[in-house]
Amino acid sequence: MKAEESKFSIFSKRKTADTDPAELKIPTHLAVIMDGNGRWAKKRMLPRSAGHRAGADNLKTLCKNCGHYGIKYVTVYAFSTENWSRPESEVHTLMELFVEYFDRYDPELEAEGIRVRFTGDIASLPQNIREVCKRAEEGSKHRDRMTLIVAFNYGGRREIVQAAQKLAEKVASGEIRSEDITEDLFAQHLYLPDVPDPDLIIRPSGEERTSNFLVWEGAYSELWFSDVLWPDFGMKELTDALIAYTKRDRRFGGLSKEKKDEE
C-alpha cells in the first residue's frame, strides 16, 4: 500500500468502472432506498438479521463507488417512521447495527473525508441512538470530500407536517404572516434545508415506489429502479443508473432544448 493511503481506506482498492466518469453526467446529490435485505437473507436461508448486516456493510461499498464518481451528497434510507411496526427483535437488530456501523467505520469515513449527517425525527429516537447521531455529526463536520446523509426514523410526510407546524407557530406568534409563506420559506423549515435536492433516487429490490422518502425534496428527482437486492447492489448497478441518468432530459416543467430550438 502506498504511504499516502490510509490502512483504513475504503477507496484504496478502487474498482475501475467500465465507463469513464468524464463521459457521464454526475448527480450532485444521489439518494438510495436500501431495500431487499430480508429477501436477500431468505434466498440464502439466513435470518433477516444477516440480511440487514449485509446491507449495512454494502453502504461502505456505496460510499466507495460514489467516491469514484465524485458524487458530493449521498442520502440513504436506513430506517423509516413505518419501520417501527416490524417485529421488536428486528427493530432491536437494526438499532444495534446503527450503533455498530458508526463505531466500526468512522475511522474509514475520517480517512476519506466523509462527513456524516442525519435526517429524520431524530429527537424521538432512544437516547443512545441520539448520542451516536450527535457524536457522528460533530466528529465529522470538518470533512468535505463527501456528505453521507442517513435518513433514520425518517418519513417524508412527517417532515412536511413538522415544517408546517413550525411555520404555524411563527404565524401564531406574529413573527410572519400566512401570506409570507412561499415554497422557499417552507423548504427552509425542512430537516436539512442547506442540502440540495436529490438529482437521482435509486431503489433496488424490484419495488417501484419511493415509500415516503424525500417527498418534498424529490419532487423533480429522476427515478431509477433495479431488480438487484440491496446487499448485491454494486458498481455495475450504480454505473447503469448513472448512464440512464446521463440520458435523461431534466426540464423541471419546461421545454427540452430541442423543442425550444423548434420555436
Residues in a beta bridge with 129: none
Told to judge if 144 belongs to the known catalytic residues of this protein, a careful annotator would answer no
Q: How far apart are CA 38 and CA 57, in angstroms?
A: 14
Q: Which of 241, 251, 194, 246 is nearest to 33 (CA)?
A: 241
Single-letter amino acid, residue 207:
E
| Cβ contact 133:120 at 8 Å | no
Which of these is catalytic: 57, 83, 197, 240? 83
Best CA proximity match to 150, nearest among 116, 189, 194, 126? 116
Instruction: Assess contact for 203 and 223: CB atoms under 8 A.
Output: yes
Indicate if 121 belongs to the active site.
no
Residue type, 210: T
In the chain, alpha helices (H): 37-43, 48-69, 88-111, 127-140, 156-172, 183-187, 235-247, 257-262
Catalytic hit among 18, 20, 35, 249: 35
- Which residues neighbour 168 within 8 Å (Cβ) at sequence distance 6 or greater? none
Q: What are phi and psi of 255, to 5 degrees?
A: -95, 150
Catalogue the active-site residues.
35, 83
